[in-house]
Structure 1
Amino acid sequence: MKLLKKFLLLLLAIVAIAFYFNYPRLNILAGYSAKNTASSVFVANRTLAFTDSTDNNFSPIHLTTDKINSTEKSASGSAFGLLTRKAVYREGLGCVLVSDDFDTSKSFPIPNRSQGDLITPYPYGNGPQKDTIFANIDYDILNTSVESMFNNVNKTRAVVVIYKDQIIAEKYDTGFNKDSKILGWSMTKSITGTLFGILQCQGKLNVFDKAPISEWQNDDRKNITIHNLLQMNSGLEWDEDYNTISDVTKMLFLEKDMTKTQIDKPFVGKPNETWNYSSGTTNLLSGILRQQFDSHQEYLDFWYKALIDRIGMNSMIVEADMSGNYVGSSYAWATPRDWAKFGLLYLHNGNWNGDHLFDKDWVDYATTPTPTSDGWYGAQIWLNAGSRYPDAPKNMLSFNGYQGQNVFILPDQDMVIVRMGLTKNADINVFLKTVISSIKH
């Protein structure tokens, strides 16, 4: 009997130790599941069953158990029944993963939105586009290329190809259509960066000024500029690894105010000499945007009034953290057609059907390769100057996100190509090459 008791105590101790050391992993596992489930159901209007069988159906997220409370618009994710996290929906702010002490009854300011134009043909409105057949497009090559993206390996959800402001190819996976909101993940970073371009062109901000972070004023970090942050070239420490407990996973699934996560990081390099991709940096930029306005309401409204609704991306919603700050690194949802509009804005150098949001000087700045990025990165925008896609033009730029979210802007071809999926398995280089080859010269 004594041996049995000792064995049980030993077993209990082993379980307790294992739980202690794996608690952070369980916390993030359950947190991802709860947040993704809530946003999929309450922002994108998918069912729980569909979400579990697709969005959450990858290792190790598929090991969680998800539940929905439709009355309070919340979702929970449970990791093996040992730890449960909760995410709630807030009107206008999307879904947020909450801590146990979060007051769900507390009211938050929400952004004021404008109504979409349902009359003007797409892309400058949301009405039906005028059918146009281009004699110089080989539609057989184009459609075959688009079709090839939709299989069990590529796991593509949507493709939209725009040529000379006209949709020339468009296809959706089962369960999706032109009105389906899809998470852009890190394509959101390009939204955040563009807002700085708009303020710069309005003369309200200079990106070459020192970053207004009070915590940096007594050490060498005071020399970091907004420009350094936009280029991910501040020299600050950051670990962007989604497969482990890292800076980015702790920020997205544990922090109440994501705009502050990068602030406490020390130097591991030098500004303008140490490119390091960092979602923490982009959320810090979201916090700097907040400083440009007297009230939180003005900050919330600015993203939509100055950019999102201004170019008719009316489906888009940018989700906020527990403190009410936009998660500018990762959490913008929109239809593929609206993501394409964002690409067209850059294709036309900031001119949206006569409305000048920013000028070509900003595009030139944003697409200048960051030092030490091997020609891959500009200011919150990916570049092809380093031939990341060897069969695509070197002046191509793109907005890219986790799991294969892409908006490609090809100035020479007068084309925008959107591909949204669940994996990066697709050979995007071949896809781009084939689509480009459909244009006959």
Structure 2
Amino acid sequence: MKKKFIAILFLTVGALTYLILSYYPRLTIVTGFSAKSVASGIFFANRSQASIEEGDNDFSLLPMAENEVDFEERTVRSSIINFKNRKAVYRDGLGATLLPENPSGSGNMLRPNRKRSKVNLPYPYGDLPQKDTVFGEIDQEKLVSAINNAFDQVEKREKGTRSVLVVYKDQIIGEKYAEGFDESTPILGWSMTKSITATIYGILQKKGRINIYEKTGVAEWQNDARAQITFDNLLQMNSGLEWNEDYADISDVTSMLYEAEEMGKVQLEKPQTGKAGESWNYSSGTSNLLAGYLLRNILQDHQTYLDFWYAELLDRIGMHSALIETDFHGNFVGSSYAWATTRDWAKFGLLYLHQGNWNWEQIFDPEWADYVSTPTNGSNGRYGGHFWLNAGGHFPDVPRDMYSANGFQGQTVAIIPSKDLVIVRMGLVEDPDFDFNHFLSEVINSIK
């Protein structure tokens, strides 16, 4: 009996040791994700802690994290059985930021200046209700069915859709929200933020501040082949720089998002393992290099840098609900952390549908819309300039001219110029588990 007990104890200790060695290094990512997610959801999106933990933090090891919220200090501390404590703090105008374990300095506390002026025009160009418009070519029954089919039935969670908005010829023709969400709820776009980052470069191109086909001039790259990398290579994810975009383990992307103080410098330090222009590799590090390092250098003054994104794009087109969160040093996390309401995400899509023209004002040149929707070499027609494409027919029942801003868990702003359509879907389940080909084609086919 004693030998049996010793054997069981030995096996138990061995199993626990294996689990600790296997999972312990990941716990800092888990608690970091949890703290950041809860802080953003509570202090910006005005959601309850329970809804965030049950809806956003319910996958992988995240349910193991315990979150302690301090409403006075606007912080969230997360840990797993008192291991790997991580703390996120919410700062007005900058969003929720994970505090480094051993920070170098106190971080940058400058805030962007916002102009949220009211415009007496109907949606999408102003704050008034849209005018009633009847489109005879729309089969309302089919459209309602297509939208309803995107949502789960009661007490099921297979499709995970939180919102759907369909805009046709600048008119909202369909809109629906899951319980707990409505037209005023900001939703994290995850990698849709990349498309915002690209748009900032399109605006700079129009202003003559940069030429995307020129070399970046990064000082740290001047003594090797990286000196030849252009802004175009980075925007097309075709720089040849090493990067591992694996969210299931400790990787370049998870270490960057949940451990790095300055996210824009992580890709900066990577070697070139491919040839620029020939080595497409999806990289959130590249987006943050563009957003948090190169753009910061182009605009030079930090306050100017913070203001530019809002004054020249987001507030300029009435995306007043939008927030792009920053890293510890106040640099925008241009890969992942943009928030906006579903209606404001649709405005972003409409800006591209109209090739940069917003209510008779040209935000970026029409050629920029063509640039971002042109396939990147090596992507098989799936990727352009920080936008996803259907040029290669990935969605066989959707027009080939569709391109989209996409994010983790199926966040999508689909732009379909040939149909004069923008379709927004926000949720928790992505392709192929959520059938985007079927959903998009159903909406499209409701319009004759």
Q: Please indicate the TM-score interval, normalised by the length of the shorter structure.
A: over 0.9
Give the corresponding residue for 1:391: 397
**Which has the larger displacement, 74-83 or 191-200?**
74-83
- With over 3 angstroms needed to count, the CA separation of the structure-2 counterparts of 1:9 and 1:391, relative to structure 1, is closer
In the alignment, what sits opposite 2:365? 359
- Is 1:80 the counterpart of 2:87? The answer is no
Residue 127 of structure 1 and its aligned partner are, at CA, apart by 2.2
**1:126 equivalent in structure 2:** 127
Partner Cα separation in structure 1 for residue 221 and residue 233 of structure 2: 14
Q: How far, CA to CA, are the matches of 2:11 and 2:423 in structure 1? A: 59
Asked if structure 1 preserves the Cα contact closer than 8 Å seen for 2:107 and 2:328, the reply is no
Distance 2:181 2:15 in 1: 46
How much has 1:376 moved relative to structure 2?
0.6
Q: Is the deviation greater in 142-151 or in 106-115? A: 106-115
Q: Could you tell me how far 1:18 is from its partner in structure 2?
A: 6.0
- Is 1:209 the equivalent of 2:210? no
Distance in 1 between the 2:102 and 2:165 partners? 43
**C-alpha distance after superposition, 1:159-218 (max 9, x if no partner):** 000000000000000000000000000000000001000010111100011113111000
Q: 2:410 aligns with which of 396, 399, 404?
A: 404
The alpha-carbon distance between structure 1 residues 138 and 110, as it changes in their structure 2 partners (threshold 3 A), is same
Q: Is the 8 A contact 2:119 2:125 kept in 1?
A: no
1:156 aligns with 2:161: yes
The CA deviation string for residues 282-306 of structure 1, in whole angstroms up to 9 with x for no partner, is: 0000111111123100000000011
Distance 1:234 1:35 in 2: 30
How many angstroms does 1:134 deviate by?
0.8
Would you say the 8 A contact 1:136–1:439 is kept in 2? yes
Q: Say whether the 8 Å CA contact 2:355–2:366 is kept in structure 1.
A: yes
TM-score by length of 2: 0.93
Amino acid at match of 2:447: I
Amino acid at match of 1:208: Y
Find the aligned partners of 2:391 and 2:9 in 1 and give their Cα distance. 62
Per the TM alignment, residue 107 of structure 1 is displaced from its structure 2 partner at its CA by: 6.1
Alignment of 1:325 onto 2:326: no
Partner of 1:368: 374
Contact 1:117 1:127 in 2 (8 A): no
Cα distance, 1:96 vs structure 2: 0.4
**Aligned-residue RMSD, C-alpha:** 2.2
Alignment of 1:9-408 (within 5 A): 19=20, 22-102=23-103, 108-117=109-118, 119-151=120-152, 152-286=157-291, 287-408=293-414
Q: CA deviation at 1:380?
A: 0.6
Residue 430 of structure 1: aligned partner: 438
SS of residue in 1 equivalent to 2:299:
coil
**Identity fraction in percent:** 52
What are the superposed Cα offsets for residues 242-269 of structure 1, whole Å, 9 maximum, x if unpaired?
Answer: 1111110000000000000001111221
Aligned-pair distance for 1:139?
Answer: 0.6
Q: Which amino acid aligns with 1:189?
A: K
> Per-residue displacement from partner, 1:325-357 (whole Å, max 9, x unpaired)?
000000000000000000000000000001101
Q: Is this contact kept in 2: 1:237–1:268, CA < 8 A?
A: yes
Once the two structures are TM-superposed, the CA of residue 11 in structure 1 deviates from its matched residue by 9.0
**Paired letter, 1:179:** S
Q: What is the Cα deviation at residue 131 of structure 1?
A: 1.7
* CA deviation after TM superposition for structure 1 residue 278, in Å: 0.1
Structure 1 residues not aligned, in runs of 5+:
none
Q: CA deviation at 1:119?
A: 3.1
Structure-2 separation of matches of 1:371 and 1:437? 31
Aligned 8 A contact 2:107 2:329 in 1: no
Contact 2:237 2:281 in 1 (8 A): yes
- Deviating more after overlay: 143-152 vs 72-81: 72-81
Residues 156 and 14 from structure 1, CA distance in 2 versus in 1: closer, same or farther, beyond 3 angstroms?
closer
Write out per-residue CA displacement over residues 341-387 of structure 1, whole angstroms, 9 at most, x where no aligned residue: 00000000000001101121111111111000000111111111011
CA distance in 2, matches of 1:101, 1:237: 26
Equivalent residue of 1:78, what SS? strand
TM-fit CA distance, 1:82? 1.8
Change (3 A) 1:62 1:14: closer
Structure 2's unaligned 5+ residue stretches are none
Instruction: Give the residue type in structure 2 aligned to 1:436.
Output: I
Q: Which moved more, 1:334-343 or 1:48-57?
A: 48-57
| Alignment-mate amino acid for residue 252 of structure 1 | L
Per the alignment, in what secondary structure is the counterpart of residue 292 of structure 1?
A: helix
Structure 1 stretch displaced more, 72-81 or 87-96: 72-81
Equivalent residues of 2:108, 2:329 under 8 A apart = no
CA distance change for structure 1 residues 148 and 74 in 2, over 3 Å: closer, same or farther? same
Q: Give 2:426's aligned residue.
A: 420
Cα distance in 2 for residues equivalent to 1:10 and 1:173: 46
Match of residue 447 from structure 2: 439
Q: Are the structure 2 counterparts of residues 308 and 62 from structure 1 closer, same or farther at C-alpha, using a change threshold of 3 Å?
A: same
Are the equivalent residues in 2 in contact too, given 1:116–1:126 (CA < 8 A)? no
